[in-house]
């Protein structure tokens, strides 16, 4: 019953409070700032309420306090998530206040993301003493303290930015995250990590409910406050449970989105303006290639379901 409630409660809270929240941020004029160099089809999205991630993360954090014990491990996880949410909130707020597509400066964002990663790294290495990673189908691999500490920074910051890059089409980040969270809930349940399973179900319920309002055509966007926090949560959880490889597999869409940017940017600079993709992140490449926004989202979600089933099968 507890597992059902962990999924259903956030879903119902967000579905029934969503319209009130959207109307409130409309009154505050929290409208989306569209990038000047983005697809032309996205210009019509300018002014649609953003920072919907506030609802996702608020519900997630509050319900988490009721479902899991506040020991050092879970407190650190929720604190890391909160710091990432704060980073995204400041980024979104500055975009809206100054009516521009860029908010925090890169160094400001990195400092805050590093703080979130540091909380996770210290907790994993020195409190939980988690010095290994799980290799699906093979078992645990001992890594040592230094490697795990460095890996924590890469995974938490990388995951946060990866989900942020994925949040570019209506329903994409929320849809993929709902599947990723549900898959991790199953994996943690099978591993006997019940509290982590509950946390993942709360996130799955929250992001599923958000799709009620974020599916194409979206009436609200999650903004950086949602995407950075979700990515930070997934990354921190992976580090604390030695599930970094599972995140790499299940979050394959996040990885592909990030790699497309990592390939495009240096190639563009080295070749003096040539491109590998029409536009990155890669969902924009498919969009400019003529695929409908909904079709891209559905296909990316289907890929995530397949990757999730593969990952879960490693435990049988």
Domain boundaries, the chain: 1-314
Mean per-residue pLDDT for 143-155? Answer: 96
Q: How many CB atoms lie within 10 A of CB 97?
A: 11
pLDDT in tens, 35-81: 555 565 555 566 788 899 999 999 999 999 999 999 999 999 999 99
What distance in Å separates the CA atoms of residue 158 and residue 160, rounded to the nearest whole number? 5
pLDDT band at 96 (very low <50, low <70, confident <90, very high): confident
Mean pLDDT in residue range 189-193: 97
User: Which has the closest alpha carbon to 93: 206, 284, 228, 218?
Assistant: 228
Residue 1 above 90 pLDDT? Answer: no
Q: What pLDDT score does 37 carry?
A: 55
224 assigned to a ligand binding site: yes
Give the pLDDT band (50/70/90) at residue 105.
confident
| pLDDT above 60 (res 101) | yes
pLDDT at residue 129 tops 70: yes
Provide the pLDDT for residue 38: 56
DSSP conformation letters of 209-263: HHHHHHSSSPS---HHHHHHHHHHHHHHHHHHTT-HHHHHHHTHHHHHHHHHHHH
d(CA 226, CA 51): 7
Distance CA 147, CA 191 (A): 24
Q: What is the CA radius of gyration of the chain?
A: 19
- d(CA 270, CA 66) in angstroms, rounded, equals 52
On the question of pLDDT at 13 being above 90, the answer is yes
pLDDT at 102 over 90: no
Q: Are 233 and 211 in contact (CB under 8 A)?
A: no
Q: Is residue 249 pLDDT above 90, yes or no?
A: yes
Q: Is 91 annotated as a binding residue?
A: no
Q: What is the pLDDT of residue 31?
A: 61
Task: Give the residue from 111, 106, 104, 115 showing the smallest Cα distance to 81.
Answer: 115
The pLDDT assigned to 16 comes to 97
**How do residues 270-301 score in pLDDT, each as one tens digit?**
998 899 999 999 999 999 999 999 999 999 99
- Residue 27's CB is within 10 A of a number of other CB atoms, namely 8
DSSP H or E stretch at residue 134: strand 132-135
As a whole number, the mean pLDDT across the chain is 93
**pLDDT above 90: percentage of residues in the chain:** 85
Which pLDDT value is given to residue 66? 96
Strands 132-135 and 139-142: antiparallel
């Amino acid at each position: 019953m507890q597992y059902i409630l962990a999924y259903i409660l956030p879903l119902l809270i967000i579905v029934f409070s969503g319209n009130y929240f959207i109307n409130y941020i409309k009154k505050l004029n929290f409208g989306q700032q569209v990038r000047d160099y983005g697809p032309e089809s996205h210009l019509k999205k300018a002014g649609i309420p953003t920072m919907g991630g506030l609802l996702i993360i608020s519900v997630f954090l509050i319900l988490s306090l009721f479902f899991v014990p506040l020991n050092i491990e879970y407190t650190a996880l929720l604190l890391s998530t909160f710091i990432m949410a704060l980073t995204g909130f400041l980024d979104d707020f500055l975009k809206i206040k100054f009516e521009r597509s860029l908010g925090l400066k890169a160094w400001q964002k990195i400092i805050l993301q590093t703080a979130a990663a540091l909380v996770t790294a210290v907790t994993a290495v020195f409190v939980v003493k988690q010095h290994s990673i799980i290799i699906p189908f093979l078992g645990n691999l001992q890594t040592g303290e230094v490697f795990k500490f460095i890996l924590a920074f890469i995974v938490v910051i990388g995951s946060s930015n990866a989900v942020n890059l994925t949040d570019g089409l209506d329903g994409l980040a929320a849809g993929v995250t709902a599947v990723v969270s549900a898959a991790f809930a199953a994996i943690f349940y099978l591993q006997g990590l019940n509290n982590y399973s509950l946390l993942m179900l709360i996130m799955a319920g929250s992001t599923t409910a958000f799709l009620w309002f974020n599916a194409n055509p979206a009436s609200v966007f999650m903004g950086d406050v949602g995407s950075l926090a979700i990515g930070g949560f997934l990354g921190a959880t992976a580090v604390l449970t030695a599930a970094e490889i599972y995140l790499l597999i299940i979050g394959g869409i996040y990885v592909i989105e990030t790699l497309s940017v990592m390939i495009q940017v240096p190639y563009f600079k080295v070749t003096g303006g040539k491109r590998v993709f029409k536009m990155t992140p890669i969902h924009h490449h498919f969009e400019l290639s003529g695929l409908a926004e909904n079709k891209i989202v559905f296909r990316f979600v289907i890929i995530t379901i397949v990757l999730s089933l593969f990952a879960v099968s490693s435990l049988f």
